[in-house]
């Protein structure tokens, strides 16, 4: 079974909204063991919509359409599907009753606008997908060799409609083998370096498949198995995941999808350790990530955003002589910040960051992107020097990730 997604909406092509529907639908298809080979995004244009749906039907047995089911003139999906399949649009009385009931329930005596009646017209032979979350019914149209599923573009409507109606339909009609995926998460190593460690595994695997990919500060290896059952898929993945973990142990922080701050939080909790933060260039970003974890109050005592030299001295006890001789962005200042915040909070660990996020403020000696990270614990202070490129936000994010990586290496 080969499927294809057609995502409709000019706002997507303009970058005004992010397409989360395709991600959601792709996962649903994978859970049914249905291959997804193509995804097309097309604007609210009659000719291009018809062309896109026609092309999808020519090469795929299942076409799922998102968007274009609203009541306005630029909502063209119903008519386009009818045109492509040589059918007419017919009023579905039950769908119309449901839309009218929705308006009565939500707006009381306010009458339904006449253009909403358009939403109850469906291609001949289509079966309604009920929409209890909005006014746009979806539909399933089965053809001789394929099927079309049309859903509204609003995620809050599409997702429950897919789960309640489309997913059971697909499981009954098209279910084959299932796809089982496990993600291994790494930090402190780049994608290309990680690939070198496991290149032979990547090149030799067919089922499961192994592929690395990177996001902000984290590299992942995705292991995907095709099997008759989820249990069989997990059994195929286990030995491959074990082999990769043995080679990449210094960088592997999660095999369950946890983010780095969750893993750190579990370790701090289990050991009974506490943490305090001192941030300059990151402006509280590390603290934000730490406190995103439920239960972080058990180990996170306090955080300081010490942006000025005066704050570094007054709040953390950084020596004026250190600031004068070495500057705010230096190995020496970072160390005193970490030691100062640890002492001020009475914490087991003091983590500090100071740097130049840009886009200005850098010099030839201390360029934009220079960051020092320090971690103080009992009897020991570690300082790392980093140089990050990118925008101001990217430098802040990369600095926060590097700080959490240093903390993770120390507490694991």
Averages of pLDDT over each 10 residues, the chain, 412 residues: 95 95 94 91 98 98 97 95 97 93 82 91 97 95 96 97 95 80 94 94 92 87 91 96 96 96 98 98 98 98 98 98 98 98 98 97 95 97 96 96 98 94
Fold observed for domain 2-173 = Molybdenum Cofactor Biosythetic Enzyme; Chain A (3.40.980)
**DSSP letters for 356-409:** --SSS---SSS-TTEEEEEEEETTEEEEEEEE--S-HHHHHHHHHHHHHHHHHH
What local confidence, expressed as pLDDT, does residue 208 receive?
Answer: 95
How crowded is residue 109: how many other Cβ atoms within 10 Å of its Cβ? 5
Domain 178-254 adopts which CATH fold? Alpha-Beta Plaits (3.30.70)
User: Residue 353 and residue 148: Cα distance in Å, rounded?
Assistant: 54
Give whole-number Cα distances, 32 to 3, 163, 204, 357, 408, in Å. Answer: 11, 12, 26, 46, 37
Q: In what helix (H) or strand (E) does residue 36 lie, and over which residues does it extend?
A: strand 35-42
Nearest 5°: phi and psi at 151? -130, 150
**CA 181: distance to chain centroid?**
15
CA distances (Å), origin 381, targets 5, 269, 285, 338, 395: 53, 22, 22, 8, 23
Helix (H, G, I), strand (E, B) or coil at 61: coil
The three-state secondary structure class of 311 is helix
What's the pLDDT at 231?
A: 94
In sequence order, what are the beta bridge partners of 65? Answer: 6, 150
pLDDT for 32 equals 85
The CATH fold assigned to 260-411 is Maf protein (3.90.950)
Burial class (CB in 10 A: 0-12, 13-18, 19+), 342: buried
pLDDT at residue 270 in the model: 98
Write down the pLDDT at residue 175.
66
List, by residue range, all CATH 3.40.980.10 domains of the chain: 2-173
Pairing mode, if any, of strands 89-91 and 121-123? antiparallel
Where in the chain is CATH 3.30.70.2860? Answer: 178-254
Cα 357 from Cα 389, distance rounded (Å): 9
Cα angle vertex 271, ends 268, 275, to 5°? 35
Q: How many helices and strands (H and E) does the chain possess?
A: 15, 17
Percent helix, strand, coil in the chain, to 5, is 45, 25, 30
Domain with CATH 3.90.950.20 in the chain: 260-411
On whether the CB atoms of residues 44 and 10 are closer than 8 A, the answer is: yes
Query: CB under 8 Å to 243, separation ≥6 — which residues?
Result: 201
Q: Are the C-beta atoms of residues 287 and 353 closer than 8 Å to each other?
A: no
Q: Are 89 and 82 in contact (CB under 8 A)?
A: yes
């Amino acid at each position: 079974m080969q499927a294809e997604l057609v995502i409709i909406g000019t706002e997507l092509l303009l970058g005004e909204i992010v397409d989360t529907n395709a991600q959601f639908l792709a996962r649903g298809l994978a859970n049914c063991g249905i291959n997804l080979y193509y995804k097309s995004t097309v604007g609210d244009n009659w000719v291009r919509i018809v062309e896109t749906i026609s092309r999808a039907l020519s090469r795929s047995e299942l076409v799922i359409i998102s968007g274009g089911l609203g009541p306005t003139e630029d909502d063209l999906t119903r008519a386009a599907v009818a045109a492509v399949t040589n059918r007419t649009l017919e009023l579905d009385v039950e769908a119309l009753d449901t839309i009218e009931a929705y308006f009565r329930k939500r707006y009381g005596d306010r009458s339904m606008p006449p253009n909403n009646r358009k939403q109850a017209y469906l291609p001949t032979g289509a079966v309604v997908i009920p929409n209890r979350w909005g006014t746009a019914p979806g539909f399933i149209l089965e053809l001789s060799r394929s099927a079309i599923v049309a859903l509204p573009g609003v995620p809050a409507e599409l997702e429950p409609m897919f789960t309640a109606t489309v997913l059971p339909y697909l499981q009954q009609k098209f279910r084959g083998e299932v796809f089982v995926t496990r993600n291994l998460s790494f930090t402190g190593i780049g994608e290309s370096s990680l690939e070198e460690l496991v290149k032979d595994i990547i090149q030799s695997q067919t089922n499961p498949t192994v592929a690395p990919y990177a996001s902000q500060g984290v590299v992942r290896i995705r292991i995907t198995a095709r099997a008759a059952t989820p249990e069989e898929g997990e059994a195929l993945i286990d030995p491959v995941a074990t082999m990769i973990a043995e080679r990449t142990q210094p960088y592997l922080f999660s095999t369950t999808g946890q983010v780095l701050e969750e893993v750190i939080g579990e370790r701090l909790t289990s050991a009974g350790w506490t943490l305090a933060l001192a941030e300059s260039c990151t402006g509280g970003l590390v603290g934000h990530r730490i406190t995103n974890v439920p239960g972080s109050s058990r180990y996170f005592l306090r955080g300081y955003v010490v942006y000025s030299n005066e704050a570094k001295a007054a709040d953390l006890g950084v020596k004026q002589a250190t600031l004068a001789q070495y500057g705010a962005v230096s190995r020496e200042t970072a160390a005193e910040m970490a030691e100062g915040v640890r002492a001020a909070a009475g914490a087991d660990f003091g983590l500090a960051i100071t740097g130049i996020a840009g886009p200005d403020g850098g010099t030839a000696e201390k360029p934009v992107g220079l960051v020092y990270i320090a971690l103080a614990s009992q009897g020991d202070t570690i300082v790392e020097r980093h140089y990050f490129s990118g925008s101001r936000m990217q430098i802040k994010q990369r600095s926060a990730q590097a700080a959490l990586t240093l903390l993770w290496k120390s507490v694991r």
